[in-house]
Homo-oligomer: A and B are copies of this chain.
Amino acid sequence: MANRSAVLHAVNDLRIEERPIPAAGTGQVLVRVAAVGVCGSDVHYFEHGRIGSHLMRSPMILGHESAGHVVDVGEGVDPARIGQLVALEPGVPDRTCSECLAGRYNLCPNVVFLATPPVDGSMSQFVAFDASFAHVAPEGITAEQAAMAEPVSVAVWANRRGQVGPGDRVLVTGAGPIGNFVAQVARSFGASSVTISDLNPYRLAVARSMGFDARLPGEIEGEFDVAIECSGAAPVVLSSMRSLARAGRMVLVGMGADTAPIDVPVLQARELTVLGVFRYANCYPIALGLISSRKVDVLGVITHRFGLAESVRAMTLAHDEPESLKVVVEPQS
């Protein structure tokens, strides 16, 4: 039986290849993957072959936003799990280091993260995965929705780090999939207002249709308690922090800038806090709950779906098609 996978060989060289179906090892489940979201990092590897110091040295399967059904279990895993729809939390930490023991497993130096060289991703028909990081999806959601637990977890974590809560006025810069989810999660956390900005009119329109105050960057008014930067543009850090009220918090989610200037007198006079975020920890159950309860609408963010054979198209679409948000690959079709 085949295990067709989307394997990146080099820049712009993504091939569908047959790989062996892996066996579920000790503590693992074997998952028949039903949906894999395309993340900006997948596109970045496709276009550049690297992300910062993470350099591809050999062919790598892409994909890390995935969900599917358990079809087998390894030693030590309850066979009753067979049949479950699971969302795969893609970074499995070593559980032993001081970061893990402190509950910050996202900072584990030995984490094994899907589709981060040299680790293969999950854009395959089958993947063997750590059973405790294969989170059971709540009743009533689809695999596609469950796969979105990954970017929604990014959004949950960003909101947690920024301590978003009732009464907060939140600014989200960037209305792509992450920015959109960050805005939705901010609302579910009780934010009293959420403003979202982008240059892309389609993405603004989607955000506006979800009830957000969506604006072009130059049209942002007022002051905010929390700014969550999801665009990756360095100058936005400076302009966003200057829009913060006293005791405001600024969360940097977007990647891209190497350095970014901050306004020191403003940081000091208003006692701002600037927070870096890296992936997420302990967020999957909350993300799945938000998806299941419809507090976060993920279907409204998925704009395109492709079969595995169309993976190349899935990678290029984000850049070619301004009227897009999240793209999902369906390995079984």
Contact = CB atoms under 8 A, between A and B. Distances in A.
Interface of A: 52, 95-96, 98-107, 109, 132, 156, 161, 165-167, 188-190, 192, 234, 237-238, 246-247, 252, 255, 257-278, 281-282, 285-286, 289-290, 293, 295
Contact of A267 (B238, B266, B276): B276
6 nearest A-B residue pairs (beta carbon): A103-B103, A267-B276, A95-B95, A274-B274, A259-B261, A268-B276
B100 A95 contact: yes
Contact of A261 (B165, B166, B260): B260
A289 B246 contact: no
Contacts of A52: 265
A289 B259 contact: no
Contact of A270 (B103, B267, B269, B278): B278
Q: How many copies does the complex hold?
A: 4
B246 A107 contact: yes
Given A259-B261, A259-B264, A268-B276, A282 B101 contact: yes
6 contacts: A98-B285, A106-B271, A192-B289, A259-B263, A269-B278, A274-B274
A190 B192 contact: no
Contacts of A192: 286, 289, 293
Contact of A264 (B106, B258, B268): B258
A223 B95 CA distance: 22
A283 to B, nearest CB: 9
A288 to B, nearest CB: 10
Contacts of A167: 285-286, 289
B255 A166 contact: no
A252 B268 contact: yes
Contacts of A260: 261-262, 264
A105 B293 CA distance: 29
Nearest to A276: B267
A253 to B, nearest CB: 8
A99 B259 contact: no
Nearest to A274: B274
Given A246-B107, A252-B267, A274 B290 contact: no
Contacts of A265: 52, 255, 258
A79 to B, nearest CB: 18
A274 B161 CA distance: 13
B234 A96 contact: no
A274 B277 contact: no
